[in-house]
Structure 1
């Protein structure tokens, strides 16, 4: 059965969160987001690192880097195919909100904190917030058609310009070859890719079939697909449920910073994705050379609130635990590290192993071989001499006839 697709979704990248009621002020937003930080156990991870030195590429709408929580830590890259027809707060809402969840550093005694408050943001504008109900799309000329895709260009740019993590709170139905190749390219360069699984959990198709239509880039192999849970670690009703869901994070009424420095709240798998991207940045900050698949393993093997079976397609392997994931990443790194063998030493008691003799001629065998060969030559020569000295055979004497007798005529 094919999903009944909405017109805005066919081949178009879509932002995956909406804005809900806003918290009051800087002091209140810190209190309002306390449950989010506690759910992810980020304060335990912050004892080790807060993400300093790591760049997170945010593939989204543009980011307002002048807000206090992000000031001085946002670099804007070139547009990846989006057209910004209006240069106002609405156009930058989604990107600014997601950036604050990744790298918000608070302000004064309050303000919003992201999961990696010392990380940097590389803003790669892709999605135009053109209002169509509660959704946003790229303009007509930038749809995912042909041999290229704005998302593919963004992923490659991020991989080539120092990003260790790429956060993608967007998606479209159906895979695209250029995007798949860009994902493989980024993974080969050690870049961790995090993407939202989508907000189709309560769609007619999901209710009828007990599964949601796949969303990309979350559906590509190697990408960490993120679902959303509420404050009770229950799967959000809107969060898509399918096998692209790897882990989950808070995505219901999550406080965010909005353009101009105000505060709001986001609801959707977008917010959950940005939070997990920040946790991935913490791991990369502590272990810069860790591979993407080990980051994924660290997140999944320590996630909490998983089902009895260990996995289900609503919350994946569970809700991300930043402190536990950071510790597990260290264990995984130590297991895969090569241990150099010390020169002149060996493991365990006993004599040092003697190096085997180098291959070469064996004197004893050579002597025996030579003696045998010489003996054979002497025997052969003797036989020839003996045969050459054998006495000649004499001719037989003529027969004599009896005296007085003639031979028979």
Structure 2
């Protein structure tokens, strides 16, 4: 699902103004960073203190290294077309240096593909009245009509990558995924040989154990998100959810001391793909671009797992991560009446919109509450995607994303100021499971200027001054955010200068 398109033009003068903003204040997981080494390096075993590469180890020797370990268990016979996740390592150290500065020391070294800090994520929720009890969003997305076609399938797994999930909640328990090989296996043994011992109901990627349940009070986000996607439906209790019968795979990555989202979400995404999840829901964000996250999402995408992400709660036109990666599906939020939620981020990278204001769902300890945010919009869309996968089980990740996008309801008549910035429209569950390919809506092309340069060296007089009648070479790169890719696109260049 490439969203990158480069076009080179030779034309007359063009004046372009680009305004870039950075709204993020980054926080890093302390005393560790990620490094990826080239394919010609030997695999480093877990709990090592050196890499065996002289120029790398020379720098590491000054950092009081505590541990060098692969980020995920070794994958034997890894398909060479996939990202080489076997050579991504987590390095923990003791010296007093920030992770971004530590990682910089390895930039541009031989054998180093990238080195970077790990960003602490944050949830994309705006709390609201906890007693709000109307699931207004399900009629809006035509859920009941969709359930006449399919009520989901227990073979469809939606991985919830979040702070924690209450496995025993009365309205979630029957939909929690069970790894039956480990369930019927031997305690303390990795019965399914996936590198995770006794992972019966998911994994905790912060505490590195097999219990993704909440431990402290503020670990309530993932339980609510799980209920938005696939609470048990038609059971006479609690709430309903689009996914109905689809299974929830809980993947926790918040630590149990403060609830900070400092665990390894990227490793959780890789795990979800390896476990056969059709979808991951990622209702969090923070930090900037990460090659490690990009590798994880691309790995999952190539294995057939579509990663759905919340677009952010900034009420700004900005690129937000992880929603901005080119192999994920970004979801903005709508309120009653299909208006953009007042908090929702909007951007050309948004693929679709979904209800996210005042969404009633499960809370820990058999409770229920209403919450707002793109954190809620994303799992509602993920639940609909679960219905699609149940009805069309052979769809690839890209085909699933296209069907979700191409069956949405157009909401730009009442959101005209956000044209193309809320994706293809608001998700419609019934359309998604009933439309034939011939009924698909046209998905608008969403492109933005990435880079621009102009020169008169090749076909002009070479004086770097653009003179009347002079031919100028221009290099223009466009980011193509359209989910289906784009062919036969006409690009028109204009200038505010009347002399051109």
Q: Which TM-score applies when normalising by structure 1?
A: 0.68
1:89-132 residue CA offsets vs partner (Å, 9 max, x unmatched): 5243101001111111247534201111101111011134887x
- Give the equivalent residue in structure 2 for 1:356: none
After the TM superposition, which residues 92-107 of structure 1 pair with which residues of structure 2 at under 5 Å, given as runs? 92-106=219-233
- How far residue 6 of structure 1 moved from its aligned partner, in angstroms, is 3.7
> 8 Å contact 1:68–1:107 — kept in the other structure?
no
Task: Name stretches of at least 5 consecutive residues in structure 2 with no aligned partner.
Answer: 1-19, 29-117, 178-200, 441-500
- Give the equivalent residue in structure 1 for 2:335: 230
- How far residue 252 of structure 1 moved from its aligned partner, in angstroms, is 0.8
**Alpha-carbon separation, structure 2, partners of 1:185 and 1:100:** 27
1:46-104 residue CA offsets vs partner (Å, 9 max, x unmatched): 11212112111010011112111112321432222358999545243101001111111
> 8 Å contact 1:155–1:183 — kept in the other structure?
yes
Tell me whether 1:328 sits opposite 2:435 in the alignment.
yes
Q: 1:219 to 1:4 in 2, by over 3 A?
A: closer
Which structure's residues are more often strand, by fraction?
Answer: 2
Q: 1:73 to 1:89 in 2, by over 3 A?
A: farther
- Give the equivalent residue in structure 1 for 2:206: 81
Tell me whether 1:13 sits opposite 2:13 in the alignment.
no
**Alpha-carbon separation, structure 2, partners of 1:332 and 1:168:** 29
- Give the equivalent residue in structure 2 for 1:389: none
Give the number of the structure whose alpha-carbon radius of gyration is greater: 1
Q: Which secondary structure does the structure 2 equivalent of 1:121 belong to?
A: strand
> 8 Å contact 1:16–1:171 — kept in the other structure?
yes
- Give the equivalent residue in structure 2 for 1:358: none
Among residues 293, 297, 315, which one is paired with 2:422 in the alignment?
A: 315
- Give the equivalent residue in structure 2 for 1:68: 170
- How far residue 8 of structure 1 moved from its aligned partner, in angstroms, is 5.1
Tell me whether 1:255 sits opposite 2:354 in the alignment.
no
Tell me whether 1:41 sits opposite 2:166 in the alignment.
no
- How far residue 2 of structure 1 moved from its aligned partner, in angstroms, is 4.0
Q: 1:239 to 1:109 in 2, by over 3 A?
A: same
- Give the equivalent residue in structure 1 for 2:294: 180
Which structure's residues are more often helix, by fraction?
Answer: 1
Q: 1:266 to 1:314 in 2, by over 3 A?
A: farther
Q: Which secondary structure does the structure 1 equivalent of 2:424 belong to?
A: coil
Task: Name stretches of at least 5 consecutive residues in structure 1 with no aligned partner.
Answer: 143-149, 334-409
- Give the equivalent residue in structure 2 for 1:137: 260
**Alpha-carbon separation, structure 1, partners of 2:156 and 2:212:** 32
- How far residue 181 of structure 1 moved from its aligned partner, in angstroms, is 1.3
> 8 Å contact 1:287–1:330 — kept in the other structure?
no
- Give the equivalent residue in structure 2 for 1:368: none
After the TM superposition, which residues 175-324 of structure 1 pair with which residues of structure 2 at under 5 Å, given as runs? 175-201=289-315, 206=316, 211-212=317-318, 214-307=319-412, 312-324=419-431
Q: 1:310 to 1:117 in 2, by over 3 A?
A: farther
> 8 Å contact 1:65–1:72 — kept in the other structure?
no
1:138-161 residue CA offsets vs partner (Å, 9 max, x unmatched): 24xx5xxxxxxx222111100001
**Alpha-carbon separation, structure 2, partners of 1:92 and 1:58:** 14
Among residues 279, 303, 316, which one is paired with 1:165 in the alignment?
A: 279
CA RMSD after TM alignment: 2.8
Tell me whether 1:116 sits opposite 2:243 in the alignment.
yes
Count of paired positions: 304
Q: 1:86 to 1:104 in 2, by over 3 A?
A: closer
1:307-347 residue CA offsets vs partner (Å, 9 max, x unmatched): 268983442111000110112366699xxxxxxxxxxxxxx
1:242-285 residue CA offsets vs partner (Å, 9 max, x unmatched): 11211111111111110011111111000000100001111111
**Alpha-carbon separation, structure 1, partners of 2:23 and 2:428:** 36
Q: Which secondary structure does the structure 1 equivalent of 2:331 belong to?
A: strand
- Give the equivalent residue in structure 2 for 1:3: 22
Q: Which TM-score applies when normalising by structure 2?
A: 0.56
> 8 Å contact 1:115–1:278 — kept in the other structure?
yes
